[in-house]
Amino acid sequence: MVDLSSSFETECEIIDRDHRRLVEMVNAIVAAIDGDHATECATRVPKFVKFAKQHFVREEAFLADIGYPETQKHHDHHRALDGKMATILGLAAKAADNQLAREALKKDLVFFLMDDVINADLDFKPFIKVRKT
Amino acid sequence: MKGLHIHGVSHAYGNNKVLNNVSLTIPTGELVCLLGPSGCGKSTLLRLAAGLETLQCGTIVIDDQTVATKESSLAPEHRHIGLMFQDYALFPHLDIVANVCFGLIGMARDKARARALEMLDQVGMADYAKVYPHTLSGGQQQRIALARALAPEPKLLLLDEPFSGLDTNMRQMIREDTLNVLKQNGVATLMVTHDPEEAMFMADRIKILGRHGRVRQSGSPHDIYYKPNDEFVAGLFGLMNRLGGVVRDGAVETPLGRVGAGGIADGTAVQVLIRPEGIVLSGGNTGSNPGIPVSVSSTHLLGHSSIVSVSPDGNSGDEYFARVHREFSPELEDTIFASIEASDTFVFPLKEDTASAAPIGMAAE
Ligand SMILES: Nc1ncnc2c1ncn2[C@@H]1O[C@H](COP(=O)(O)OP(=O)(O)OP(=O)(O)O)[C@@H](O)[C@H]1O
Ligand SMILES: [Fe+2]
Ligand SMILES: [Fe+2]
Ligand SMILES: [Mg+2]
């Protein structure tokens, strides 16, 4: 189980709310796998990926709105995650009847979410903070 | 989140910038390998996490507790970290069980001893409790060092090239055993290595650090090997054939055949990298499209495989390296054909700074 402990918060409520939802979705997928309901991956994981992509769009719009100088770079970072999302979808399709795919899916999801998505967003936290004050 | 959370760490020794905005996340129970060339700042990052170096920029959090920022720092002994380095640093005048007990300060003697023996059992060294370090081999000493690092149930384990002093066979064995012990203990582990194979073997996730301590890519071993972001990452895994070309109709024409350009725009000058295992040699009587006829100039048997140098017929100036994983006797074949395996072939836009041709096998950054 992962959680959005304070060190991972951007302290921008509209972003953190999306992140919390992403965390919930990943935890639900991990719980489904651990609870022998891996068949649910076939629907849950595509929903997660879809929500992540929508979140990227919302976040980029927000960063552009507030004039974050590295919006383009962050956009490029999101785009560079396409390959990983494709891998995750591929693993989810196999998860129901393949133990190795289930294990790889859990790992890839957690690292994707906590390292590639949420940790990377802390790059813009100082900018939001300065703007708030 | 339980585990290690590093964000935005940069570090310089005087004017020498060694880490550049490094972030990483390791959930409990997972192992992340930092992989990169000598001097890219791997040990520095480990020392910062351990509190042996003062943090200049960024945040380090262990099990939801912020242990270091620019302003504040928790002393190393309060971070609950296990350390293991290349030189095992066992105390020569203490027997093995006393060495393992050493980190269990504050624990009742009987309990500490029981815990130490439990750890020695886990690393397969229970029979050696009473002996002194100098009577043990390097591999055995490393097992003891692992037991000692894990005995106090650290929140985070930091390993800096722990196996680099060991010979090949011992290394492989102790890697496997270490991995088993780590998984059994469910601790977050950050391990430094400059051996790509070791990183592939051990890691749940690999972070590639490039020159000046910049993260070049992070991903699963599979991602890093089959979907390298750039020629630097691709080049980490040993010998590479490097060919130049220009994209036309979505592909690059090379002396060894056509290679898909993977979405790079027509007209772009590119570098094509092919692993030796991506050049497949055959005797010609296999299938309808055996590839390009080549002549063999040399073969080197490496053990599990051979490296074979080939040149396309009529073009002996171009030489490529192929890896063959079975017995291969070119002297017994009439004609040999080479073809390219897409999964071991990578196409990257040619960047200004890599335009000067790097010698084959050398990773240009
Ligand atoms: N205490 C120090 N004072 C000054 N410079 C240092 C210090 N420690 C390391 N350096 C320099 O910082 C750079 C990074 O060193 P570091 O030991 O982190 O690299 P590394 O990636 O672990 O290399 P290796 O693979 O060779 O162990 C090197 O150029 C090194 O010379
Ligand atoms: Fe985000
Ligand atoms: Fe983001
Ligand atoms: Mg080092």
Does B329 have pLDDT greater than 70?
yes
Please give the CATH architecture assigned to the domain spanning B239-349. Beta Barrel (2.40)
Please tell me the predicted confidence (pLDDT) of residue B363: 39
Indicate which atom in ligand 1 lies nearest the CA of residue B34.
Answer: 21
Model pLDDT for residues B197-209, shown as the tens digit of each residue? 999 999 999 999 9
Of all residues in chain B, the percent with pLDDT exceeding 70 is 95
* CATH class of domain segment(s) A12-125: mainly alpha
CA of A76 to the centre of ligand 3 (A): 10
Model pLDDT for residues B292-319, shown as the tens digit of each residue? 999 998 888 888 888 999 999 887 788 9
Q: Which two tokens stand for residue A43?
A: 């629907």
Interface test with A, best of B2, B6, B7 (most A CBs within 10 A): B7
Question: Is any Cβ of chain A less than 8 angstroms from the Cβ of B230?
Answer: no
Which regions of chain A are under pLDDT 50? none
Distance from CA of A121 to the nearest CA of B (A): 10
Mean pLDDT to the nearest integer, B98-109: 91
- The ipTM estimated for the assembled molecules is 0.96
Residue reference for tokens 């489904």? A32
Helix (H) or strand (E) run with residue A96 in it: none
Q: Count CB neighbours of B200 within 10 A.
A: 18
State the pTM of this model: 0.92
Query: Tell me: domain B3-232, CATH 3.40.449.10, correct?
Result: no
Model pLDDT for residues B63-78, shown as the tens digit of each residue? 999 999 999 999 999 9
Please tell me the predicted confidence (pLDDT) of residue B360: 41
Model pLDDT for residues B39-71, shown as the tens digit of each residue? 999 999 999 999 999 999 999 999 999 999 999
Q: Do the two domains B3-232 and B239-349 of this chain adopt the same fold?
A: no
Model pLDDT for residues B130-182, shown as the tens digit of each residue? 999 999 998 999 999 999 999 999 999 999 999 988 888 889 999 999 999 99
Q: Which two tokens stand for residue B235?
A: 């080049």
Contact B266, B248 (CB under 8 A): yes
How far the first Cα of chain B sits from its last, in Å, is: 35
Residue to mutate, B9, B17, B19, B44, ligand 1, most ligand atoms under 8 Å from C-beta: B44
CA distance A84 to A89: 9
The answer to whether B25 contacts A104, with C-beta atoms less than 8 Å apart, is no
Model pLDDT for residues B7-34, shown as the tens digit of each residue? 999 999 999 999 999 999 999 999 999 9
CA distance A5 to A28: 17
**Across the interface, which of B23, B27, B64 has its CB nearest the CB of A110?**
B27
Contact A76, A96 (CB under 8 A): no
Please tell me the predicted confidence (pLDDT) of residue A132: 72
Please tell me the predicted confidence (pLDDT) of residue B356: 41
β B188-193/B156-160 pair status: parallel
Describe the crossing of helices A41-65 and A71-79 by its angle, rounded to 10 degrees. Answer: 170
Sorted by where each begins, the domain ranges of chain B are: 3-232, 239-349
